[in-house]
Amino acid sequence: MSRREGPIRRVNPSGAVVWVARYTGRDGKRRYAKPAWNRGSATFARRRDAQRAIEEAYALPDRLETLAGYLETWPARYPRSARTNKTNAGRVRAVLGVEIEGRPLGEWPLHELRRRHALALVDAMLRDQGRASSGATNVLRSLSALAEDAITDELAEGNPFKGVRVRADDPRARKRSREVRVYSFEQLHGFAAAARAEVRARLRRPGSGRPYPALDYEPMLRTFTDSGLRLGEVLALRRRDFDGESLRVRGSAHEGRILAGSSRQKNHDRLVPCPPGLAAMLGRVLLDSGGELLFPTPSGRVWWERNFYRDVWEPAQAASGLDVRPHECRHSWVTHLHAAGVNGADLAEMAGHRVETMISRYTHPLRRSMEQVKEVIG
């Protein structure tokens, strides 16, 4: 800006005065500053906030127009959870050097990237980097999130990565995706039993050799195995969410904070039934502990994911000998209940997904139908 531009004063029909953060970009075009801290809006109640948005937008260095340059400040400008930021940045950095039409992907200006470039990237990830189809899909998801935020910053005109799909059986993929394992409820209950206080007291921490605290986490792990809840949903449960027969999901926990509400992909507001075994365990939890949370940390706080894995989940894996993942409990829960004939719409509602998503992503073959097929055909 050759001179310090100021926001535009406008009066709403209600008579309220607002300020619009409009400015002239480096290319001479009129633009609107829509920072994430103002929920992507260019309208402000205070003039100084609109002025700040203009100066922040204009201060973006020219190299932010390239994918690599934009990545440098993207996690800070559009903060997600620390774990998500780290994952997204790692995925994108891994492909910045991929040659696309003779130029590294990171050096491409965001506004020049097109769908053909995204398809060329997929080909390179599968053929040259040796990624599995699922790995290439995850990279595309992170790039798509970056591109959406770049559109908000008016550094990109479209999202070339959105909607690009990689088939699971793509012949270019030389590495197989990690298959989700389905466990029986007997196996899952054995895994949860490995989190009992007396079992934990016999374990030693890796490195230090000290024993784990003799705390009983079996009810917490049985909630994963018997309710199909996601990790964040279990960590966010409050005592009032259990009524003796069911669990009321009201939100999800991330990085030690409980976030209310749902997203377009995930429903975090629903009712899930508790089988008798789990209900009895949770009833004892309510009697033995106080506070607001159903499963607090030893100091009474919300678990951070990495601490939960270190102090609860990984010791149970070591004691049981089962390399179970939290999401595999969910996959197993949906698969077994679907196979048992539970109504698909009801099950999808309890799982917090659409019926189509539940069937396509969460149901897996149990290979128990061979004899049934023979009997039906005769």
Q: How far apart are CA 77 and CA 152, in angstroms?
A: 11
Q: How far apart are CA 283 and CA 302, in angstroms?
A: 20
pLDDT of residue 328: 93
Q: How far apart are the first and last CA of the chain?
A: 82
Q: How far apart are CA 55 and CA 3, in angstroms?
A: 11
pLDDT of residue 353: 74
pLDDT of residue 27: 62
Q: What is the pTM of this model?
A: 0.64
Two tokens, residue 337: 């209940």
pLDDT of residue 372: 65
pLDDT of residue 368: 67
Q: How far apart are CA 225 and CA 234, in angstroms?
A: 11
Residue 73 CB-half CA count within 13 A = 16
Looking up tokens 């609107």 gives 32
Tell which residue, 265, 271, 237, has the closest CA to residue 251: 237
Long-range contacts of 292-297 (CB under 8 A, 24+ apart): 292/238, 292/239, 292/240, 293/237, 293/238, 293/239, 294/237, 294/238, 294/239, 294/241, 294/242, 295/219, 295/220, 295/223, 295/234, 295/235, 295/237
What b/e sequence results for 307-326 when a residue is b if at least 16 CB atoms lie within 10 Å of its CB, and e otherwise? ebeebbbebbbbbbebebeb
pLDDT of residue 82: 73
Q: How far apart are CA 303 and CA 306, in angstroms?
A: 8
Q: How far apart are CA 311 and CA 237, in angstroms?
A: 18
pLDDT of residue 266: 66
Three-state secondary-structure class, residue 228: coil
User: Which residues of the chain form beta strands (DSSP E)?
Assistant: 8-11, 17-20, 22-24, 30-32, 43-44, 99-100, 103-104, 246-249, 251-254, 257-260, 270-273
Two tokens, residue 185: 């409820």
Task: Parse the chain into domains and list their residue ranges.
Answer: 8-59, 63-152, 190-324
| C-alpha 324 chain-centroid distance | 19
Q: Which CATH architecture has domain 190-324?
A: Orthogonal Bundle (1.10)
User: At 264, phi and psi to the nearest 5?
Assistant: -65, -30
Is 254 within 8 Å of 207 (Cβ atoms)? no
- Which amino acid makes up residue 120? A
Q: Going residue by residue through the chain (378 aa), what tens digit of pLDDT does each one get?
A: 444 688 999 998 888 999 999 888 766 777 888 887 888 788 999 999 999 988 887 766 554 688 998 998 898 888 887 778 889 999 999 999 999 999 999 999 999 999 999 999 999 999 999 999 989 999 999 999 999 999 988 888 899 999 999 998 899 988 776 778 899 999 999 999 999 999 999 999 988 889 999 999 999 999 999 999 999 999 999 999 999 999 999 988 988 888 877 665 566 788 999 999 999 999 999 988 788 999 999 999 999 999 999 999 999 999 999 999 999 999 999 989 888 888 888 888 888 877 777 676 667 666 666 666 556 565
pLDDT of residue 1: 42
